[in-house]
Amino acid sequence: MNQMTPPPKLEIIPSSAPFSEAQRSWLNGFFAGLLSTDAPTALSAEQGAAVLQGDGDDGEAPWHDQTMPIADRMKLAEGRPLRRRMMAAMAQQDCGQCGYNCNDYSEAIASKGEARLNLCVPGGKETARMLKALNEELENAPPASPGSNAPPAVTLGEPGRSRDNPVPAKFISRRLLNKGKSEKETWHIEFDLSGCGLDYVVGDSFGIFARNDLGLVDQIIAMLGASHTTEVRGKTLREVLLDDVSLAPAPDSLFDLISYLTGGAVREKARALAQGEDPDGDAATLDVMAVLQKFSNVRPHPEAFIEALEPLQPRLYSISSSHNATPGKLSLTVDCVRYVIGKRKRLGLASTFLAERINPGDELKVYVQKAHGFALPEDPKIPIIMVGPGTGVAPFRAFLMDRRATGAPGKNWLFFGHQRSECDFFYSDNALKTSGLLTRLSLAWSRDGDKKFYVQDRMREVGREVWTWLAEGAHVYVCGDAKRMAKDVERALVDIIAQFGARSTDEAISFVAELKKKGRFQQDVY
């Protein structure tokens, strides 16, 4: 019988660390296991956080699905610690607009490192309301340690590397990418970064601070019965409305303000709206202007009015150029948001700013948002499959330009799709088609025929070759619409793996999960 020698006891967690004896012993065992060569199982970031915070949460996030409604997400998070329920309240896109991913933003709020509850742009008012309610729980909880209720210190970070510390860049030009009778308005936008010295890596996004539309601002000033020179916060009312506050959608605090200034049925209505109810069935259409029109007898004082509005948020765009190919320059591919409600045209803030309210030579505030898990493979020989319908093509133009600039020999396959071949084939004249950059280009036009035909339909048609590329080690990238496209493309990939890789559906789902874990399936969706 072999004599078993007990392994030496590792003391990795210092005795001064804030853990009980049992926790310290468990953590020592865990880290010892992690450091030993024959125990490769590491915890995820969430699991690690759960362990370190010692609240017994298993770190799983079954609600982390951008297509799931908030009510279902919150149900899945019932009974979890506050920080986990806060994560479930986020839009689950990990899009980076808040400056974090969903998990880190919720951790930051729960640990009181972040005081702003309104940063989740895709989550909109639903997320902001839920976070407010959860934050009240947090505020009412006894402080974990003396001083832990102190306001968080603001860390600005390196200039131009976060939404909290933007730098000026110069707008150079815009060029319409759609032709003829397209139903879309998509712009190729160029910036000069030489003045601010910013650089970036392909896969990163670009944050921009836009200005509101002057016409809308002046209509609001007129509705308030104010003058545009009225001074608010040390600036004119017009300047504040142009640059500092969001004019869509109307925040609950504006309904609250209106309820304080009025009475009776009108007050009840404003109160109901402030609580997320929809007494007239129009809540989803109420931007700030529409609220002033709806409650046209109420005239808030400009100062109180501005206080009731939310700060203007930056918008992120996938960078469609490569710093290696065109140093000092940066381009975006921007779909313009315009729609009509009732008789009024509504303008997407940043997309229409870039399309019509900024002129060549003008400066704007910008920052580079580092990509987390969306990057070219480190090995330039690895083949890549890119799926990017519509503006989803943006980072792939950047990938291709970068691979050309760096002489990367790996094969490149792009699935691009849009409405009509005749007028919506972006960049058909240059990088995407010519110069042998693309090994394969597969196209899908959704409105050319009688039936919708999407990128994932094209992928299914050439599934055998997709599988061959995967078997050769290809990395797969998906960019564009988060709500439907990304899920549908993932489903197609599962079907292809099942069919051509001779696997059951469950095995194919695990195969895709494994690709994700290894960084071989990456998404940039919004």
Ligand X SMILES: Cc1cc2nc3c(=O)[nH]c(=O)nc-3n(C[C@H](O)[C@H](O)[C@H](O)COP(=O)(O)OP(=O)(O)OC[C@H]3O[C@@H](n4cnc5c(N)ncnc54)[C@H](O)[C@@H]3O)c2cc1C
Ligand Y SMILES: NC(=O)c1ccc[n+]([C@@H]2O[C@H](COP(=O)([O-])OP(=O)(O)OC[C@H]3O[C@@H](n4cnc5c(N)ncnc54)[C@H](OP(=O)(O)O)[C@@H]3O)[C@@H](O)[C@H]2O)c1
Phi, psi of 172 (to 5 degrees): -100, -50
Q: In the bound complex, which residue of the shown chain has the CB atom lying closest to ligand X? A: 348
Per partner kind, with CB cut-offs from 5 to 8 A, the member of ligand Y, ligand X, none near residue 455 is ligand Y
Asked if omega into 249 is within 30° of 0 (cis), the reply is: yes
Q: Which stretch binds ligand Y (CB under 6 A): 29-37, 65-73, 412-420, 434-442?
A: 412-420
Q: Does 335 bind ligand X (CB under 6 A)?
A: yes
- Alpha-carbon gap, residue 392 to 333, rounded angstroms: 9
Find the binder of ligand X among 288, 350, 432, 494 (CB under 6 A).
350
314 binds ligand Y (CB under 6 A): no
Q: For residue 477, what is the DSSP state?
A: E
Does 351 bind ligand X (CB under 6 A)? Our answer is yes
Tokens 């974990």, residue located: 144
Binding status of residue 207 toward ligand X by CB under 6 A: no
Q: How far is CA 307 from the centre of its chain?
A: 27
DSSP 127-173: HHHHHHHHHHHHHHSPPSSTTTTSPPPP---STTSSTTS-EEEEEEE
Out of ligand Y, ligand X, none, which partner does residue 483 contact, by CB within 5 to 8 A per kind? ligand Y
- What residue 348 binds from ligand X, ligand Y, none (CB within 5 to 8 A, per partner kind)? ligand X
What does 203 interact with, of ligand X, ligand Y, none (CB < 5 to 8 A by kind)?
none
Decide if residue 483 touches ligand Y (CB under 6 A).
yes
Does residue 417 touch ligand Y according to CB under 6 A? yes
Binders of ligand Y among 436-475, rule CB under 6 A? 446-447, 452, 454-456
Q: How far is the CB of 509 from ligand Y (least distance, A)?
A: 19
Angle at 471 between CA 468 and CA 476, to 5 degrees: 85
Find the distance separating the first CA and the last CA of the chain, reported in whole Å: 61
The C-alpha atoms of residue 247 and residue 311 are separated, in whole angstroms, by: 9
Q: Which is nearer to ligand X, 127 or 259 (CB)?
A: 127
Partner in contact with 300, chosen from ligand Y, ligand X, none, beta carbon below 5 to 8 Å by kind: none
Regarding 190 and contact with ligand Y (CB under 6 A), the answer is no
Provide CB contacts within 8 A for 18, sequence distance 6+.
Answer: none
Q: Could you tell me how many residues of this chain bind ligand Y (CB under 6 A)?
A: 23
CB of 284 to ligand X, least distance (A): 8
The residue (of 73 and 315) whose beta carbon lies closer to ligand Y is: 315
Residue 253 is classified by DSSP as H
Amino acid in position 427 = Y
Binding-residue pattern over the window 142 to 161 for ligand Y, x denoting contact by CB under 6 A: --------------------
Asked whether position 485 contacts ligand X by CB under 6 A, the answer is no
Question: Can you spell out the DSSP letters for 441-470?
Answer: EEEEETTSSSS---HHHHHHHTHHHHHHHH
Q: What is the 3-state secondary structure (H, E, C) of 26-44?
A: HHHHHHHHHHCCCCCCCCC
Are residues 525 and 480 in contact, defined by beta-carbon separation less than 8 angstroms? yes
Whichever of 270 and 512 has its CB closer to ligand Y, that residue is 512
- Fill in the amino acid letter for 474: A
| Smallest distance from ligand Y to CB 249, Å | 15
78 binds ligand X (CB under 6 A): no
Residues 293-322: x/- map of binding to ligand X (CB under 6 A)?
----------------------xxxx----
Question: Which tokens hold the place of 196?
Answer: 């601010």
Tell the smallest beta-carbon distance from residue 121 to ligand X (Å).
7
For residues 316 and 459, which CB has a smaller minimum distance to ligand X in the complex?
Answer: 316
The correct pick among 16, 79, 339, 436 for binding ligand X (CB under 6 A) is 339
> Following CA atoms 301, 305, 308, 312 in sequence, which dihedral angle do they give, to the nearest 10 degrees?
-150
Shortest Å, Cβ 183 to ligand X: 12
The two three-digit tokens of residue 395, written as one number: 């980072």
C-beta of 96 vs 377, nearer to ligand X? 96
| Pair 159, 120: CB distance under 8 Å | no
DSSP annotation of 379: S
Which stretches of the chain bind ligand X, using CB under 6 A? 95-97, 205, 248, 315-318, 333-335, 337, 339, 348-351, 391, 394, 524, 526
